[in-house]
């Protein structure tokens, strides 16, 4: 009787197992759909060859981009030792050698299999503009040594160039607005949207040899030399941008050093030392700078014990020059002063022309279509997995029953 029951149970299990196997087979044979794999990351390198120093910025973006423009993020930055490359006019090989430590660092960050396809650029600003005007042969020699050094690394070097002042201003404007999410931002639903044009902000930049002002004007630009047309994330922007050569900190020093014997630093750093970059009213800024500039050297050293002597020596002239440039040069007043935001970084990313340069260049780097795989729909995979698990359990039960039947037969025969 027990043996007959076991046989009946075994037959039922075999039938159920067959039915489940057939169902799982049907699920696997159902039409499959293409599934896109996540887009891989791409990398780009931009050297900012400024008048006072050179810095390398390492950027990354998804290869599929958004309306033709990459969503770029800063991975790392590296400041080269020594002065800007324009200072190596009499030692061109030194300009190239100064870039090697930063290139070595980049090779440690970028995956080896992607290094040869990593676009690499060097953009020189006002320092090299001036050197090219003074001695074009020496400028060419510096660029040749820089290109030679970068060419020794497994990257896709796309050349070194001197940026015009308007290009520097335009790319800086792109950087600021991209970081503030006024060009494009991710909505709560996960889609990319364009904020209204009213959210776009202007950008001011004080460099070593020039200063730039860039903004989106409310009226058409009459002077073509001060206009630039940009296309970013599928939208067009007609901006006003102008660069004032020789009004940067370093060149201003050269014009005034005979009488002042002092130096100047950029807008943010000039006012940051006196804690004036937090949106204080203009009256307080004026009073603070005036009090600092009339203090004795001994008092200044006591109040800023950790600041270098050179920076303290230059602080009065630097902050005064920055204030004069903003008020008398760019015509800010007590009311519009409150619209200025002094920043060295936005969301942890350096503010400068290099990010905007990389964003603009991604328009010319072809998008990559994400690789796809053929697979079942998620619901089919779940159902097939459950059926296969059930089949395994039933198989185990059948094996157990078989063993029990053999044991029972052996006992009866004894």
Active-site hit among 66, 145, 167, 168: 168
A 10 A CB-CB count for 175 gives 26
Helix, strand or coil for residue 215? strand
Q: How far is CA 99 from CA 81, 128, 354, in A?
A: 8, 16, 16
Count how many Cα atoms sit within 13 Å of the Cα of residue 408 in the half-sphere of its side chain. Answer: 13
- What residues contact 397, with CB distance under 8 A and at least 6 apart? 13
Query: Can you give the length of the chain in residues?
Result: 414
Cα separation, 323 vs 249, in Å, equals 13
Identify the burial level of 295 via C-beta atoms within 10 angstroms of its C-beta, where 0-12 means exposed, 13-18 middle and 19 or more buried.
middle
Closest by Cα among 228, 221, 104, 222 to 169: 228
Cα separation, 66 vs 149, in Å, equals 34
Rg of the chain (C-alpha set): 33
Is 168 tagged catalytic? Answer: yes
Is residue 263 a contact partner of residue 317, using CB atoms and an 8 Å limit? yes
Alpha helices, H only, 29-164: 92-97, 100-109, 126-134, 136-151
375 bridge partner residues = 33
Identify the burial level of 168 via C-beta atoms within 10 angstroms of its C-beta, where 0-12 means exposed, 13-18 middle and 19 or more buried.
buried
Would you state the structure tokens that stand for residue 40, as one six-digit string? 């891989």
The DSSP secondary-structure symbol of 219 reads S
Active site residues: 168
């Amino acid at each position: 009787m027990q043996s007959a029951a076991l046989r009946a149970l075994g037959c039922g299990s075999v039938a159920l197992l067959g039915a489940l196997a057939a169902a799982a087979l049907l699920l696997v044979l159902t039409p499959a759909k293409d599934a896109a794999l996540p887009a891989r990351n791409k990398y780009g390198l931009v050297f900012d060859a400024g008048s006072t120093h050179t810095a390398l910025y390492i950027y990354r973006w998804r290869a599929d981009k958004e309306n033709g423009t990459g969503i770029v993020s800063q991975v790392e930055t590296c400041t080269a030792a020594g002065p800007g490359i324009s200072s190596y006019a009499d030692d061109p090989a030194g300009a190239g050698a100064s870039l090697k430590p930063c290139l070595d660092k980049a090779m440690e960050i970028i995956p080896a299999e992607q290094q040869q396809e990593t676009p690499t650029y060097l953009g020189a600003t006002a320092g090299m503009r001036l050197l090219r005007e003074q001695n074009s042969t020496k400028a060419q020699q510096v660029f040749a040594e820089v290109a030679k050094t970068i060419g020794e690394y497994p990257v896709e070097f796309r050349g070194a160039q001197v940026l015009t002042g308007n290009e520097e201003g335009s790319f800086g404007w792109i950087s600021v607005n991209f970081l503030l999410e006024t060009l494009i931002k991710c909505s709560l639903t996960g889609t990319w949207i364009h904020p209204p044009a009213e959210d776009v902000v202007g950008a001011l930049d004080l460099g070593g040899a020039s200063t730039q002002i860039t903004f989106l004007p409310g009226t058409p630009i009459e002077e073509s030399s001060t206009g630039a047309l940009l296309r970013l994330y599928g939208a067009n922007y007609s901006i006003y941008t102008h660069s004032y050569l020789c009004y940067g900190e370093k060149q201003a020093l050269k014009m005034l050093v005979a009488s002042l014997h002092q130096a100047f630093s950029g807008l943010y750093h000039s006012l940051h030392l006196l804690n004036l970059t937090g949106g204080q009213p203009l009256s307080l800024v004026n009073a603070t700078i005036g009090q600092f500039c009339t203090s004795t050297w001994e008092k200044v050293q006591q109040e800023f014990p950790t600041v270098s002597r050179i920076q303290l020596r230059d602080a009065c002239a630097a902050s005064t020059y920055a204030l004069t440039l903003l008020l008398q040069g760019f015509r800010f007043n007590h009311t519009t002063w409150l619209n200025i935001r002094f920043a060295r970084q936005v969301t942890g990313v350096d503010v400068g022309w290099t990010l905007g340069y990389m964003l603009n260049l991604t328009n010319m780097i072809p998008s990559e279509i994400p690789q796809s795989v053929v697979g079942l729909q998620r619901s089919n995979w779940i159902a097939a997995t459950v059926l296969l698990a059930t089949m395994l359990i039933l198989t185990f039960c059948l094996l157990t029953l078989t063993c029990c039947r053999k044991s029972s037969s052996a006992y009866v025969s004894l």
